[in-house]
Amino acid sequence: MPVGQRYHIETWGCQMNAHETERVSGLLEAQGLRRADGARDADLILLNTCAVREGATGKVLTRLGELRSLKESDPHKVIGVLGCVAQERGAELFRRAPHVDLVVGPRALASVPRLLEQVRTTRHLMDLEHYTESVLYGHEQIRRQDSRKAYLTVIEGCSKACSYCIVPFTRGREVSRPFANILSEVRYLVERGTLEVELLGQNVNAWRDGGRDFADLLREIGAVAGLRRIRFVTSHPLHFSQRIIEAMRDCKQVCNYLHLPPQSGSDRVLRRMKRGYTRRHYLACIGALRQAVPDVRLSGDIIVGFPGETDEDFEATLDLLEGARFDSLFSFRYSPRPHTTATEFTDQVPRAVQDGRLARLQERQRQIQEVANRRHLGQIYEVRVEGPSPKGHTLCGRTAHGLMVHFEAPRESPDSFVNVQVTRTGIHSVSGERVELSPGTSPITAL
């Protein structure tokens, strides 16, 4: 490959982007490139980018500015922008940052090796196609971060049209990956020691292949011998079904964790967001899930200060928090994005009002989480060890329902799973002590 020996990739955004960086790394390594220690050290620098909020795009543009001097001091370096900002800005990136050589959208990443062949002879190469075949990637080549936990794309793109969201523009229409393809990757991974898979999609539970739906997919992956945990993100309330609840209840490998973003608690705002469901539908989904799977952990996303959001609408969102009692919540100030219809609303909410609402929402959620986490006190959970703890304990890991646990254990312990009894609870995590269970007993949350 004519771009030298060493590559460096910086990644922003969602799990899908993290995984796509693994895929691009695999493609580059198949061409003989090796990972560099950093941007200075690299012949090829790629930014895999996120455009979901203005700030995310802004970070990429700032980083590109920083890379200009690196390119000036070493014109041999090749610089590429991949992912959602590549799609959002397209050729404008070349005008704004002429030191960029390559712009490749999130559905065209398989083109990267081909474009790199031409990059020394042709300036400013670009591929922004939404290739349908992007779901048919070769899984043998992926350069995974973690050998025990693997991301797996099951559906790409988004065919919804939420009025605030740039993702349908950046990622194109939804395409499900064929069932046989997914299953052969799962088997391949498990044979090589993977214990946990995380199924990815913008609307992962919209997955379909012929007569099979997402509930069938969960059950069939759950039947692969040797796989211990199955997670999935992100679910959409419109595609959440009793069949998925039953698959979560029946299939012991499917983790009792659900990320189901409501976005707002006000029906008026939900309508203007074009989410397609009501607050009542949302609460009914999580109510039915909690009934079938009582120890489920639940998280969500909320946007505050959407155009036209009144104090009354915001109170309805605070009230949704009381009903939903999320175990964790991601909350954002509404950010106007190009290629979305919400920018046409004339009743934008002032920044100071958005900030005040965000602070109130986050404070209320902290209180809810602190109380919600107390239910774990004294429980014994099976924890998958993830690594050293940043919190003064030796190790940390996650329960099957996604709770972060810090605990003491010999650092060199080779065990992938340990049993930990929770002795203290906090807002974002809990801590505890390792316990040996007598034979025949199982932890409260078994896998």
Interface residues toward ligand F3S, by CB under 6 A: 13-14, 16-17, 50-52, 83-84, 167, 170-171
Residue 191 burial by Cβ neighbours in a 10 Å radius (0-12, 13-18, 19+): exposed
Judged by beta carbon distances under 5 to 8 A according to partner kind, the member of ligand F3S, ligand SAH, ligand SF4, none in contact with residue 168 is ligand SF4
Residue 367 to residue 278: CA distance in whole angstroms: 26
Residue 224 burial by Cβ neighbours in a 10 Å radius (0-12, 13-18, 19+): middle
Among 106, 168, 172, 265, binds ligand SF4 (CB under 6 A): 168
User: Least distance to ligand F3S from the beta carbon of 267, Å?
Assistant: 26
Residue 210 to residue 238: CA distance in whole angstroms: 19
Residue 388 burial by Cβ neighbours in a 10 Å radius (0-12, 13-18, 19+): exposed
Alpha-helix runs per DSSP H in 262-392: 267-273, 279-292, 311-324, 351-373
Q: Which of 158, 154, 106, 114 is nearest to 131 (CA)?
A: 106
Q: Which of 323, 327, 255 is nearest to 297 (CA)?
A: 327
- Contact code string over 253-292 relative to ligand SAH, x by CB under 6 A: --------x-x-----------------------------
Pairing of strands 34-35, 6-11: parallel
Tell me whether residue 36 or residue 155 sits nearer to ligand SAH (CB atom): 155
Q: Which residues pair with 198 in a beta bridge?
A: 151, 231
Q: In 3-state terms, what secondary structure has residue 319?
A: helix
> Which of the stretches 159-167, 176-184, 310-318, 320-328 binds ligand SF4 when contact is defined by CB under 6 A?
159-167
Tell me whether residue 16 or residue 316 sits nearer to ligand SF4 (CB atom): 16
Judged by beta carbon distances under 5 to 8 A according to partner kind, the member of ligand SAH, ligand SF4, ligand F3S, none in contact with residue 418 is none
Dihedral angle, C-alpha 298, 303, 304, 307, nearest 10 °: -150
Q: Would the CA dihedral through 51, 57, 63, 69 be positive or negative?
A: positive
Judged by beta carbon distances under 5 to 8 A according to partner kind, the member of ligand SF4, ligand SAH, ligand F3S, none in contact with residue 50 is ligand F3S
User: Least distance to ligand SAH from the beta carbon of 53, Å?
Assistant: 5
Q: Which of 385, 25, 353, 36 is nearest to 195 (CA)?
A: 385
The set of long-range contacts for 285-291, using a CB threshold of 8 Å and a minimum separation of 24, is 285/237, 285/240, 285/260, 286/258, 286/260, 286/324, 288/242, 288/245, 289/240, 289/245, 289/248, 289/258
Q: Which of 150, 118, 141, 188 is nearest to 29 (CA)?
A: 141
Judged by beta carbon distances under 5 to 8 A according to partner kind, the member of ligand SAH, ligand SF4, ligand F3S, none in contact with residue 262 is none
Contact between 236 and ligand SF4 (CB under 6 A)? yes
User: Least distance to ligand SAH from the beta carbon of 136, Å?
Assistant: 22
Site size for ligand SF4, by CB under 6 A? 9
Contact between 104 and ligand SAH (CB under 6 A)? no
Residue 235 to residue 91: CA distance in whole angstroms: 33
Tell me whether residue 82 or residue 165 sits nearer to ligand SF4 (CB atom): 165
Q: In 3-state terms, what secondary structure has residue 35?
A: strand
User: Least distance to ligand F3S from the beta carbon of 83, Å?
Assistant: 6
Q: How far is CA 257 from the centre of its chain?
A: 14
- Contact code string over 180-209 relative to ligand SF4, x by CB under 6 A: ----------------------xx------
Among 255, 303, 418, 422, binds ligand SAH (CB under 6 A): 303
- Contact code string over 142-181 relative to ligand SAH, x by CB under 6 A: ----------------------xx-x--------------
> Which of the stretches 24-32, 63-71, 163-171, 214-222 binds ligand SF4 when contact is defined by CB under 6 A?
163-171
Contact between 431 and ligand SF4 (CB under 6 A)? no
List of residues contacting ligand SAH (CB under 6 A)? 52-53, 164-165, 167, 202-203, 234, 236, 261, 263, 301, 303, 332, 334-335, 337
What is the binding site for ligand SF4 (CB under 6 A)? 158, 160, 162, 165, 167-168, 202-203, 236
